[in-house]
């Protein structure tokens, strides 16, 4: 019978890209706005800086994810092509190799041979891809999915501090950014942990810690240089 049970691992591809994008969008944009605000810029310049950061960041995230995951896909395809050649040229050797893998996992030699024979007759390349190379549909790379998820997540995350800077009184924009960004990060960390089946407190606290550090450092740098952009 077909297997329909959902596992957290099946979410790993898009979840990693989405969480990374949203987290980067919130932290980088909020930090950028904090640094520019600390340098003494006016409201108009601050908002233009935020919009530019959102646009550039979303495109950069999409490009980076696409290139990175495409490289992973190329490696996977190269390994599959090599395995297919080996199965064609040395099927007996590959069958013994698969049998050895199952023996190492705890099956008796006789049962391991039967399992390897049955799986090879069904789809030998799929059996070697899964059990020798560690590739399966749950963790296969998808460049376009990762790129779109990263871009949308970054834009969504970056829009939160940008809206905060737009609504906040200019004299209090830094306080508003800190007061809104850290709860945003905590919520993101908790959602990511919940979606991935991890501990909610750990997921939220580690994001908040690094986000707070980024905000403080960029604010200090902006105040130190005091350069109007």
Q: What is the pLDDT of residues 48-107, one digit of tens each?
A: 999 999 999 999 988 988 888 888 888 878 878 887 888 888 888 888 887 888 888 888
104 assigned to some structural domain: no
Average pLDDT over every residue of 19-37: 86
* pLDDT value for 170: 85
Number of domains in the chain: 1
34 close to 215: Cβ distance less than 8 angstroms: yes
135 assigned to some structural domain: no
72 assigned to some structural domain: yes
Handedness of CA 22, 18, 72, 59 (dihedral sign): negative
137, pLDDT greater than 70 = no
What residues make up the domain containing 168? 9-85+143-225
134 assigned to some structural domain: no
**Phi, psi angle pair for 125, to nearest 5°:** -65, -40
Distance CA 187, CA 205 (A): 10
Instruction: Give how far Cα 58 sits from Cα of 22, 86, 118, 206, 211, Å.
Output: 10, 42, 47, 23, 18
Q: What pTM did the predictor assign?
A: 0.67
When comparing pLDDT for 65 and 191, which is higher? 65
When comparing pLDDT for 146 and 31, which is higher? 31
133 assigned to some structural domain: no
30 assigned to some structural domain: yes
138 assigned to some structural domain: no
- Of 172, 190, 196, give the one whose Cα is nearest residue 34: 172
Distance CA 98, CA 164 (A): 57
25 assigned to some structural domain: yes
Distance CA 229, CA 226 (A): 10
């Amino acid at each position: 019978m077909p297997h329909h049970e959902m596992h957290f691992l099946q979410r790993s591809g898009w979840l990693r890209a989405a969480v990374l994008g949203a987290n980067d969008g919130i932290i980088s944009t909020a930090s950028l706005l904090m640094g520019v605000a600390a340098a003494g810029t006016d409201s108009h310049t601050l908002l233009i800086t935020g919009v530019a950061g959102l646009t550039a960041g979303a495109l950069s995230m999409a490009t980076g994810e696409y290139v990175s995951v495409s490289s992973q896909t190329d490696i996977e395809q190269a390994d599959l092509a090599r395995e297919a050649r080996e199965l064609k040229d040395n099927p007996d050797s590959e069958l013994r190799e698969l049998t050895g893998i199952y023996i190492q996992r705890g099956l008796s030699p006789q049962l391991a041979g039967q399992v390897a024979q049955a799986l090879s007759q069904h789809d030998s390349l799929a059996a070697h891809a899964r059990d020798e190379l560690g590739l399966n549909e749950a963790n296969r790379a998808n460049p376009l999915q990762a790129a779109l998820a990263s871009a949308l997540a970054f834009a969504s995350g970056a829009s939160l501090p940008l809206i905060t800077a737009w609504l906040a009184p200019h004299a209090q924009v830094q306080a508003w950014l800190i007061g809104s960004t850290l709860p945003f990060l905590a919520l993101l960390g908790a959602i990511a942990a919940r979606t991935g089946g991890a501990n909610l407190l750990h997921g939220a606290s580690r994001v908040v810690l690094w986000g707070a550090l980024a905000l403080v450092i960029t604010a200090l740098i902006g105040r130190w240089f005091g350069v109007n952009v």
